[in-house]
Amino acid sequence: MAAGLILELKTGKWLAYAAALQIGSIKDVLGRKVCMVKEVQSRLTNHGIAFYTSGQLFLEEYYVLAMVGKAGLNTLHMDGNTRLCTATAAAAMRESFGCDGQPGSYSDIDCTGCLFLVGHNPSATQTVLWSRMLDRLDGPNPPKLIVVDPRTSDTAKRATVHLKPKVGTNLALLNGIQHLLFKNGWINKSYVETHVIGLEDLKQVVSKYTPEIVEQITGIPPLELQKAAEIIGTAESLVSTALQGVYQSNQATASACQINNINLLLGHIGKAGSGVLQMNGQPTAQNNREAGCDGEYPGFRNFQNPKHMQETADVWNIEFMKMPHWNQPTHIENMLNFIANGSIEVFWISGTNPLVSLPNLGKVRDVLTQPNLFIICQDIYPTETTAIADVVLPAAQWGEKSGCFTNVDRTVHLSRKAVEPPGEAKSDLEIFIDFARRMKFTDKDGNVLIPWSTSKEVFEAWKKMSKGRPCDYSGLTYQKLTSGIQWPCNAEYPYGRERLYDDGKFFTDAEYCESYGHDLETGAPLTRVQYDALNPAGRAILKSAHYKPALEEPDAEYPLKLTTGRNVHHFHTRTKTGRTKLQQACPEPVVQISETDAKAAGIQDGEYVVVKSRRGAVEMKCSVGSIEAGQAFIPFHFGYFDSKDGRARAANELTTEQWDPISKQPTFKSGAIRIEKCADEFGVVKIHARENHTSTVRHAEDVKREAVGRKPASGNVRRLELWLGATHDTLEGLATIYNDLIPKLVHDMEIHAGLRVMNRITHDMLDALTPHMDKYHESHQYGHPAARHLRETTFADWSESLDPLEALNALVHLRMYMSYIEGHLIALGPASQAIWDKPFNEAVLFAQKELGRQQAWVAQHIKVKSPQTLLVPMVPKADLQETAYSRE
Ligand SMILES: Nc1nc2c(c(=O)[nH]1)N[C@H]1C(S)=C(S)[C@@H](COP(=O)(O)OP(=O)(O)OC[C@H]3O[C@@H](n4cnc5c(=O)[nH]c(N)nc54)[C@H](O)[C@@H]3O)O[C@H]1N2
Ligand SMILES: Nc1nc2c(c(=O)[nH]1)N[C@H]1C(S)=C(S)[C@@H](COP(=O)(O)OP(=O)(O)OC[C@H]3O[C@@H](n4cnc5c(=O)[nH]c(N)nc54)[C@H](O)[C@@H]3O)O[C@H]1N2
Ligand SMILES: [Mo]
């Protein structure tokens, strides 16, 4: 429990700001934290403040926090450690089923004919669930078990077939299984005809993944793959699961979608014994996603759908314009970028320990110990992260407060307070509500925005927000929750719904879905227009993609593939388990490598080794065996709060800060390393990789102490004005092009007439934008050179006697110039929303529409000219020099 942890002042930084703000007493820390936020708000806008939360609070706590961020501060800077954990689960379900929410139920495990576990090691990480699986495996009529894991885990030891792919090759393997399902006619034709779209594209993509090709990529022998495919393809029912071996590996969302595909192709979804469990890791990851504290919006609403955003604004009674929805919420790696470049100065961390759990720790330490950053850290124990915080808020943990949590099969539980929190600790709910009150957040009528004080009141409010959405809680009450009930729970399902999609209807209706989906390779979101063209209309979507190797593959210098994960003995960064007897059972990390690699390097089991990547190094004992050659595994549990020997040992010293393009989940299971012996030729073991955490913390404290009394830096310049100036310039330039240049270049009456219309439209755009340019005092410091340069290089060097090919080119250049304007307007779209200025935003939307009309016109004339110009042989221009045409 959090005994002994009190509200403490970690560095002089707080006093520095307190002095600047002329605050007398230091007793009222919460009050002063509010002053700090307000000070940053006034200098940097609300976008200078960011939140990073957890998968371990309660539903009600997330809901209030989501309101603080979205309805109170109206920003998108909120993410959770769920980004590191189950962002891919949510993303994959949105791509395939239109919305987050697990199709299946835990009870399916009790009757399924086949369990297919991909990158999921329940024997270590979900021991209760594993017991349930063991009951089946050791009982009558056991299901077949297929395990996909590069290590021979205790889970894999029980497998009927254990597929051991090279780290990062899941997509090729899953494509290979689908290839065999098609080839052997194991597809459920009547199901796919009625309930899915995308079949032909998928079939074409997977046609390439023959067992032989799959072997080249994954290392899996064809016979093994065929055996697994046959079991899956012919099982009477199938429960498929995925976890971090998928979500944190190469091509995460694309791979997780293939698992959904397999169940869809077989029609094994929405019925007893069959379903998909895109597993969750943390106890309340699901609630974080439902309430909208990371990449989501409350009630799984779609930020691209204005109706959904209006509904949310209505429930909160805030202006639509104040509802932040110009993009997906900021993910943690982008927040770190914004902190690094100084545009976020307040960072409020709750229930997570980023100084151990984020990738590439060396960089994370540098960014989070910047002197101008003010860190608030809300935890139940002192951690590596509280050590660098400016203010630590002691929180009550689950047994010390009441609230709901929802597990992976949508079962909602109420957890009631058992004991009082120790010392000054307060529940996260109380802390967030207190903050909201002190910030005086109000709705659009001036009423208190978050008027509740108990978790029960917040739950009642949440019911209103979730009503009508897939995660509908409206039929639940605290009273009713004496045992777990699955959502949706509403008038239609008063006792919950065991399986989603049991009626074959998915959440893909354009008006209902949570997302329009993404390009699986680039991560670019699809537009509403593109989604309407797909027209899933309640059918599931088979998404397909080709395998692409990870960005950092092994080479001569770093020859092994790194993967990281968990031991059964420890939970995450060990803030809890490191303080129990479990610590003695597993006192330190070990790096696991194969016999082959150990032998080649002359390394013995149990010997100390240095592990190096391009980002850092750690030092630990080596464990030999139970992993395929070429791969290495390190548990990520060990940081520095209790380390004694000065060795670097956190797995994340080594990992890369790359992430999946769709879910933005970091690829913790990737990167290349090499392993060296620690002992010299005489057998003496020296420390080669010393930890940097302690010295960084001390240095940061010194720097902040020195900064006491100094005022925050002034002289920061906002760039909106510059951008507006540039935009204005490009538009005036377009008018010049229409007036002066094109008529001289392109001798075509239709074009001449069209240009006059285009010119008029351009002036309409200028008229619409001008008041806003005046309002924000557009600046011409930046715009002129770039726009003029482009115009001059694009149109200056043309002669006035263009041949048809050059005339076509002139139009292409015009189109290019328009793209430059388009880029400026694209940037102004979200910026005008994020400054909460409705008329400005409307003017930008108008300008975008008008530019679109001009782009369409140019495209049309390029098309008119192209076949004749490109196909019909003509005399080259050089030979035309003296003709009447050129003298014209
Ligand atoms: N004891 C314990 N239990 C926990 C936790 C804990 O810290 N400790 N944490 C909880 C949380 S938040 C989570 S998210 C879950 C995570 O639970 P799991 O996902 O089961 O755990 P991991 O060990 O991260 O990864 C699972 C397996 O993926 C394999 N793997 C690595 N790379 C690849 C790959 O490229 N492809 C495939 N197919 N497999 C690969 C690893 O060898 C590993 O055995 O556990 C939860 N339960
Ligand atoms: N290399 C590598 N890195 C990984 C992973 C991996 O497999 N490999 N896995 C990733 C995954 S899946 C996860 S989930 C993350 C986990 O990473 P973290 O979130 O950093 O891990 P935890 O140790 O669970 O941190 C939770 C913090 O919240 C505190 N806490 C617990 N309950 C409460 C509460 O009620 N209120 C408050 N305010 N605080 C509370 C705990 O003391 C702890 O400090 O790590 C990720 N990082
Ligand atoms: Mo997790």
266 belongs to a structural domain: yes
Say what angle helices 720-736 and 783-795 make with each other, to 10 degrees.
Answer: 30
Q: What is the pLDDT of residue 774?
A: 87
Cα–Cα distance measured from residue 318 to residue 310, given in angstroms and rounded to the nearest whole number: 9
Q: What is the pLDDT of residue 713?
A: 66
Please indicate, yes or no, whether residues 179 and 263 belong to a single structural domain of this protein. yes
What percent of the chain is predicted at pLDDT more than 90? 81
Mean pLDDT to the nearest integer, 106-130: 97
Looking up residue 569, the CATH number of its domain turns out to be 2.40.40.20
Residue 220 beta carbon below 6 angstroms from any ligand 1 atom: no
80 belongs to a structural domain: no
Ligand 2 pocket at CB < 6 A: 54-57, 81, 84-85, 244, 248, 281-282, 350-354, 356-357, 378-381, 383, 395, 397-398, 428, 564-565, 572-573, 575, 636, 651-652, 655, 668
CA distances 12 to 37, 343, 365, Å, are 17, 22, 19
Note if the bond before 488 is cis, omega within 30 degrees. Answer: yes
Mutate to test the pocket of ligand 1, among 82, 280, 566, 573 (most ligand atoms within 8 A of CB): 566
CB burial class (10 A; 0-12, 13-18, 19+) of residue 760?
Answer: exposed
155 belongs to a structural domain: yes
Does residue 784 surpass a pLDDT of 60?
A: no
Q: What is the pLDDT of residue 793?
A: 78
Alpha-helical runs (H) found in 713-837 = 720-736, 742-745, 749-775, 783-795, 804-834
Q: What is the pLDDT of residue 785?
A: 67
Residue pair 626/151 in contact (Cβ under 8 Å)? The answer is: yes
Nearest atom in ligand 1 to the alpha carbon of residue 121 is: 20
Residue pair 825/781 in contact (Cβ under 8 Å)? The answer is: no
Parent domain of 167 = 87-281+519-541
Q: What is the pLDDT of residue 801?
A: 75
Listed in order, strand segments (DSSP E) in 24-72 are 49-53
Cα–Cα distance measured from residue 669 to residue 58, given in angstroms and rounded to the nearest whole number: 28
DSSP one-letter code for 629: T
Does residue 644 surpass a pLDDT of 80?
A: yes
User: Going by CA atoms, what residue is nearest to atom 36 of ligand 1?
Assistant: 245
Please give the structure tokens belonging to residue 570: 């420890």
Looking up residue 325, the CATH number of its domain turns out to be 3.40.50.740
Does residue 11 surpass a pLDDT of 60?
A: no
What is the dihedral sign for C-alpha 598, 602, 607, 610?
negative
Mutate to test the pocket of ligand 2, among 54, 564, 582 (most ligand atoms within 8 A of CB): 54
When computed from its CA atoms, the radius of gyration of the chain, rounded to whole angstroms, is 30
Q: What is the pLDDT of residue 887?
A: 40
Please indicate, yes or no, whether residues 43 and 105 belong to a single structural domain of this protein. no
Q: What is the pLDDT of residue 252?
A: 98
Average pLDDT score over the chain: 92
User: Residue 280 C-alpha to ligand 3 middle, in angstroms?
Assistant: 7
Of 425, 434, 524, 417, nearest to 478 by C-alpha is 417
Residue pair 121/565 in contact (Cβ under 8 Å)? The answer is: yes
Please indicate, yes or no, whether residues 45 and 132 belong to a single structural domain of this protein. no
Please give the structure tokens belonging to residue 467: 């009503």
Please give the structure tokens belonging to residue 216: 């080249």
Q: What is the pLDDT of residue 783?
A: 52
Q: What is the pLDDT of residue 779?
A: 67
785 belongs to a structural domain: yes
Please provide residue 714's backbone torsions phi and psi, each rounded to the nearest 5 degrees.
Answer: -115, 180
CA distances 334 to 76, 563, 843, Å, are 11, 23, 29
Please indicate, yes or no, whether residues 614 and 750 belong to a single structural domain of this protein. no
Higher pLDDT, 306 or 737: 306
User: Residue 358 C-alpha to ligand 2 middle, in angstroms?
Assistant: 10
Please indicate, yes or no, whether residues 120 and 234 belong to a single structural domain of this protein. yes
Please indicate, yes or no, whether residues 265 and 292 belong to a single structural domain of this protein. no
CA distances 759 to 731, 756, 763, 788, 817, Å, are 10, 5, 6, 18, 14
Looking up residue 262, the CATH number of its domain turns out to be 3.40.228.10
How many domains in the chain? 4
Residue 638 beta carbon below 6 angstroms from any ligand 1 atom: no
Cα–Cα distance measured from residue 149 to residue 625, given in angstroms and rounded to the nearest whole number: 14
CA distances 14 to 37, 341, 353, 452, 530, Å, are 12, 21, 21, 29, 50
The residue with tokens 């051991």 is 164
- pLDDT band at 20, cuts 50/70/90? very low
Higher pLDDT, 733 or 591: 591
353 belongs to a structural domain: no
Query: What does the pLDDT look like over 202-216, one tens digit per residue?
Result: 999 999 999 999 999
C-alpha 793 chain-centroid distance: 40
Query: What does the pLDDT look like over 226-255, one tens digit per residue?
Result: 999 999 999 999 999 999 999 999 999 999
Cα–Cα distance measured from residue 857 to residue 811, given in angstroms and rounded to the nearest whole number: 10
Cα–Cα distance measured from residue 488 to residue 506, given in angstroms and rounded to the nearest whole number: 14
CB burial class (10 A; 0-12, 13-18, 19+) of residue 538?
Answer: middle
146 DSSP β-pair partners: 116, 161
Please indicate, yes or no, whether residues 117 and 230 belong to a single structural domain of this protein. yes
Mutate to test the pocket of ligand 2, among 7, 51, 59, 81 (most ligand atoms within 8 A of CB): 81
Does residue 24 surpass a pLDDT of 60?
A: no
262 belongs to a structural domain: yes
Please indicate, yes or no, whether residues 50 and 164 belong to a single structural domain of this protein. no
User: Residue 4 C-alpha to ligand 1 middle, in angstroms?
Assistant: 33
Does residue 10 surpass a pLDDT of 50?
A: no
Higher pLDDT, 833 or 876: 833
User: Residue 283 C-alpha to ligand 3 middle, in angstroms?
Assistant: 9
Surrounding ion ligand 3 within 5 Å at CB are 85, 281
Residue 249 beta carbon below 6 angstroms from any ligand 1 atom: yes
User: Residue 312 C-alpha to ligand 1 middle, in angstroms?
Assistant: 35
Burial 599-636 (b: 16+ CB within 10 A, else e): eebebeeebbbbbbbebbbbbbebbbebbbebbbbbbb
658 belongs to a structural domain: yes
Of 42, 49, 77, 39, nearest to 324 by C-alpha is 77
At position 135, the amino acid (one-letter code) is: D
At position 835, the amino acid (one-letter code) is: I
Residue pair 717/408 in contact (Cβ under 8 Å)? The answer is: no
Does residue 725 surpass a pLDDT of 90?
A: no
Sorted by sequence, the CB contacts under 8 Å of residue 785 that are 6+ apart come out as: none
Please provide residue 338's backbone torsions phi and psi, each rounded to the nearest 5 degrees.
Answer: -65, -35
Mean pLDDT to the nearest integer, 278-295: 95
CA angle 749, 755, 758 (to 5 degrees): 150
- pLDDT band at 9, cuts 50/70/90? very low
Does residue 12 surpass a pLDDT of 60?
A: no
Q: What is the pLDDT of residue 275?
A: 96
547 belongs to a structural domain: no
Please indicate, yes or no, whether residues 277 and 289 belong to a single structural domain of this protein. no
Nearest atom in ligand 2 to the alpha carbon of residue 669 is: 8
Higher pLDDT, 791 or 10: 791
DSSP one-letter code for 552: S
Nearest atom in ligand 2 to the alpha carbon of residue 398 is: 35
Does residue 778 surpass a pLDDT of 90?
A: no
Please give the structure tokens belonging to residue 410: 């949508």
Query: Which ligand gives the minimal distance to the CA of 651?
Result: 2
CA angle 261, 538, 231 (to 5 degrees): 25
Rounded-to-10 torsion of CA 793, 799, 805, 811? 50
Does residue 744 surpass a pLDDT of 80?
A: no
What is the dihedral sign for C-alpha 569, 571, 573, 574?
negative
Looking up residue 849, the CATH number of its domain turns out to be 1.20.1260
| pTM of the predicted protein model | 0.94
148 DSSP β-pair partners: 118, 163
Residue pair 526/493 in contact (Cβ under 8 Å)? The answer is: no
Query: What does the pLDDT look like over 428-461, one tens digit per residue?
Result: 999 999 999 999 999 999 999 999 999 999 999 9
Cα–Cα distance measured from residue 866 to residue 869, given in angstroms and rounded to the nearest whole number: 5
User: Residue 121 C-alpha to ligand 1 middle, in angstroms?
Assistant: 6
Query: Which ligand gives the minimal distance to the CA of 569?
Result: 1
Please indicate, yes or no, whether residues 55 and 182 belong to a single structural domain of this protein. no
Distance from the first to the final alpha carbon of the chain = 90
User: Residue 682 C-alpha to ligand 3 middle, in angstroms?
Assistant: 43
Mapped onto helix, strand or coil, the DSSP state of residue 775 is helix
Does residue 8 surpass a pLDDT of 50?
A: no
Lowest-confidence pick of 127-136, 187-196, 733-742, 785-794? 785-794
Give the length of the chain: 888
Does residue 17 surpass a pLDDT of 70?
A: no
C-alpha 546 chain-centroid distance: 21
At position 309, the amino acid (one-letter code) is: M
What percent of the chain is predicted at pLDDT more than 70? 93
Of 585, 597, 680, nearest to 633 by C-alpha is 597
CA angle 813, 818, 819 (to 5 degrees): 95
Please indicate, yes or no, whether residues 112 and 242 belong to a single structural domain of this protein. yes
Query: What does the pLDDT look like over 315-350, one tens digit per residue?
Result: 999 999 999 999 999 999 999 999 999 999 999 999
Mapped onto helix, strand or coil, the DSSP state of residue 528 is helix
User: Residue 377 C-alpha to ligand 2 middle, in angstroms?
Assistant: 13
The number of helices, as runs of H, and strands, as runs of E, in the chain is: 34, 22
Query: What does the pLDDT look like over 38-63, one tens digit per residue?
Result: 888 888 899 999 999 999 999 999 99
Please indicate, yes or no, whether residues 425 and 465 belong to a single structural domain of this protein. yes
